[in-house]
Structure 1
């Protein structure tokens, strides 16, 4: 992660500008809060950060700086990877939501007191498929080069934003996988840390709800009413993550378009 304060480079605007201050403010908040706030809050912070970056890119002095050397090509390469990663995260969220809704529909359709073994088996198979997708996505994150290779303030700022993007999207993927490379206990700790704490999702209870994503065949005797209630709570969390990813995706695409416009001029 990039360090907090840097001296202004000669190519970076020397006078205070609202766009610069906005980006620096959002980066400062992410540095301070990214590990202590929810995934959804971090997604919202990233969206605001990239809206500020988009305003920054519109500045003539910044466009002139970005046109130097191989900067623009490196930034475009990184932005494409981020757009693809965010799009894949959205796809995974959709698959999870569908699997939860399918299990809900099946339980209601059977009108049984408990979920059937076939219902649970189908859900578990879907979760395993999704977990493999998540694991592949996390491994692919190693291909990102988000280290700053220059002491230019603008470059360092943009690469730090990229680093936050990777960190938060990885947290989303870990949360959605319902697993952690160390242990399920660690996974529940992550769930407790990253689920939102607002009127729609309720802190610790939200983590318990989302932990049902790890449902196994051994839970086939769970009371259907309780299972439906927990599935619905999980669905609410998933919906909020989906909305956060959608908003971030749009902001990332807008940033990429702005960078392409700089390249074309």
Structure 2
């Protein structure tokens, strides 16, 4: 990773606060460690901050629904906004234009991540439709319709779990990227920029895996509750509900109503979470595409 290199950045440094014009001394460009601040370009420090925030969110294991998931999406979006600022710097573009094969690997990594988030958006749309269908079935006490919606919801959950596994694979790939140039030598400034790209890709992949996995777990939990409320071992869900209506004791009818009410409440919570996810996931997808486009432009300019 980049933190193994001494960092001596050739980017424009923060302007001196001294009123006397003088040439920068050698100490102004001293090597620095990751843990200590330096007069490096502020965009680099800003990007480091967002990388740490994304990693912290992914490692904490988001426990509850919409608030935590929405926060994760916001962190990833902020990370790529900062990464876009870095890629806009002419100095960073000059360094990356000579990165050669490393740039190709970064292009592949961010393409995989953009594809994963594009598929995530499709899965979220499908899941939203399945949840809406299940809610309608619960409100109409239509057991067969609810069972069908639950099966569809489980399929959507499995797709989200598959995407989480794919994102975890993306998290491994960037960490193996070589930051050596074609001649086996790399400057400190190039190591800094290339290392930040590597860390950004790895952090995004880890957060994406956590995000997809959390939504898949939420969907599976709600689907399980809905299935248990309307199914039995040997008969269709509709038969169960019909039998429930024929029960003579009012206590059992009240219990049935309470159960279906609890299912409807869980489905509504999931529906609200999905609605919050849609806007955030769209922003992250666009950010990933913009990051890859910026890298592709740098790569193309180097070729021609």
Q: What band does the TM-score fall into relative to the shorter chain?
A: 0.7 to 0.9
Q: Do residues 41 (structure 1) and 71 (structure 2) align?
A: yes
TM-score by length of 2: 0.67
User: Aligned equivalents of 1:240 and 1:35: distance in 2?
Assistant: 22
Q: 1:77 aligns with which of 105, 108, 123?
A: 108
1:218 matched residue in structure 2:
228
1:227 matched residue in structure 2:
263
| Alpha-carbon distance, 1:80 to partner | 0.8
User: Aligned equivalents of 1:230 and 1:131: distance in 2?
Assistant: 16
1:88 matched residue in structure 2:
119
Superimposed CA distance per residue, residues 201-240 of structure 1 (whole angstroms, 9 cap, x where no aligned partner):
xxxxxxxx98324334321246433332222111111222
Q: 1:58 to 1:86 in 2, by over 3 A?
A: same
User: Aligned equivalents of 2:57 and 2:212: distance in 1?
Assistant: 19
TM-score by length of 1: 0.76
| Alpha-carbon distance, 1:9 to partner | 5.2
Q: Do residues 63 (structure 1) and 97 (structure 2) align?
A: no
User: Aligned equivalents of 1:106 and 1:217: distance in 2?
Assistant: 12
Q: Which 5+ residue runs of structure 2 have no aligned equivalent?
A: 14-39, 63-67, 181-190, 231-255
Corresponding residue SS for 1:233: helix
Q: 1:129 to 1:28 in 2, by over 3 A?
A: closer
User: Aligned equivalents of 2:165 and 2:110: distance in 1?
Assistant: 18
2:159 matched residue in structure 1:
133
Q: Do residues 21 (structure 1) and 31 (structure 2) align?
A: no
Contact 2:179 2:195 in 1 (8 A): yes
Q: Which has the larger radius of gyration?
A: 2
2:216 matched residue in structure 1:
177
User: Aligned equivalents of 2:223 and 2:4: distance in 1?
Assistant: 41
| Alpha-carbon distance, 1:247 to partner | 1.2
Superimposed CA distance per residue, residues 171-224 of structure 1 (whole angstroms, 9 cap, x where no aligned partner):
12212222xxxxxxxxxxxx6xxxxxxxxxxxxxxxxx9832433432124643
Superimposed CA distance per residue, residues 112-149 of structure 1 (whole angstroms, 9 cap, x where no aligned partner):
xxx43213311221023223323432443465311143
2:145 matched residue in structure 1:
119
Equivalences, count: 229
1:149 matched residue in structure 2:
178
1:194 matched residue in structure 2:
none
Q: Which 5+ residue runs of structure 1 have no aligned equivalent?
A: 179-190, 192-208
